[in-house]
Homo-oligomer: A and B are copies of this chain.
Amino acid sequence: MAKITIIGAGVMGSTITFPACDNGHDVHLIGTLYDREIIERLRKDNFHIALKKYLPDGISYYQTEDTEEILKGSDLIVAGISSFGVEWFLNDIIKLIPSGIPVLLVTKGLKSLGNGEVCSFVDYFTDACDKRIEFCAIGGPCISYELAARHNTFIGICGYNNETLQKIKSLLNTSYYHISTTTDVGGLELASAIKNIYALAVAMSTGVAEAAEGIGCRPHYNAQSGLFAQSIREMKIIIKSFGGSSDNLVYGVSDLYITVESGRNREVGVLLGRGHTIDEVLEKLKGMTLESTSAVKALSEAIYEKHKKGEFDLESVPLFMHVNELMSGKKTVDIPWDKFEGCYNYD
């Protein structure tokens, strides 16, 4: 039995309690400042008010004040934070983590370093603590409530030390939570981040069809799968360009697959596809947090910077360029199909 401590009682972090508890571990869940209510209710009867589900029995729950104390003696720390909690984690939490305990991030996204540089959160945190702590991360397709229902889920974890990855796998792998491991951090993390952009792009085809034939019409599968194909091409180009191996594209592609089907990026893509500007879309979806807009911004800055240095051909990613245009201005959708045809040579 190992001690597994999860920081952040949001949906994704809390869901990791299922494989952790099913493997018989001693599981501790610590809320952030924003999770006070969630923790209060969990303490009462194990019911998670955001996940709308009872967590397994036997978990110990804590408010954020207890973080330092509880982290001690853990065999694994899971950082269940969203990309919006990254700076808080960096400034307030990392210093509380004892050396020698590996940290598994569930955060997906890219950190913009300014100057057009982006990096994975694994690298960002590793650098921030001068390599004192070993960070790993989860990638690949996983809808939280499905994992919480113990449905078969197939994901990848990445990190630089294979021994640590195997240890984490041995702690969390179950009969329904199937974990592959890879040391290609750049490839897995970049794929996880950019798939949000392309999920939005693929979903545009639904909106375009609806603009022509009415909302709720039969999907245009040819167009949707055409955009899916072009997305794979461009994801591969971008990952290669940023030093990742395309071997792990499989996680990004399957994650793209699941993200097109559901979620916020889909909603934005469909609305853009219907002909709305991004301002109109954001007005309609008021209050929704949208990780892909910041990912597009960070990535496009990085790509333009590479382009200036002669290291990136903007014409190799016409779909990305179009989404970027949509996200940054008053333009409306006009999918550049003819530009895709010439992309073969970039494969």
Q: Using a CB–CB distance below 8 Å, which chain A residues touch chain B?
A: 140-143, 146-147, 151-154, 156, 169, 173, 175-176, 178-182, 205, 209, 219-230, 232-233, 247-248, 250-251, 253-255, 257-258, 261-262, 335, 337-338, 340-341, 343-344, 347
Contacts and interface: CB of A to CB of B under 8 A. Distances in A.
A211 to B, nearest CB: 13
Contacts of A230: 154
A230 B257 CA distance: 13
A261 B219 CA distance: 10
Given A232-B254, A262-B221, A141 B226 contact: yes
A344 B182 contact: yes
A256 to B, nearest CB: 9
- Chain copies in complex: 2
A233 B233 CA distance: 16
A226 B151 CA distance: 11
Contact of A257 (B141, B151, B228): B228
A178 B337 contact: yes
A147 B222 contact: yes
B253 A232 contact: yes
A19 to B, nearest CB: 13
A227 B254 CA distance: 9
B248 A229 contact: no
A332 to B, nearest CB: 17
A174 to B, nearest CB: 10
Contacts of A179: 341
A143 B222 contact: yes
A279 to B, nearest CB: 26
A159 B157 CA distance: 40
A151 B209 CA distance: 9
A191 to B, nearest CB: 11
Closest 7 CB pairs of A and B: A154-B226, A229-B254, A141-B225, A153-B222, A225-B258, A247-B347, A152-B223
Contact of A253 (B142, B223, B229): B229
Nearest to A263: B221
Nearest to A342: B180
Nearest to A179: B341
Contacts of A152: 205, 220, 222-223, 226, 335, 337
B141 A258 contact: no
Nearest to A253: B232
Contact of A341 (B180, B220, B258, B261): B180
Contacts of A205: 152
Contacts of A251: 229
16 contacts: A143-B221, A151-B209, A152-B220, A152-B223, A152-B226, A154-B229, A173-B341, A175-B338, A180-B340, A222-B258, A224-B257, A228-B253, A228-B254, A229-B250, A233-B250, A247-B347
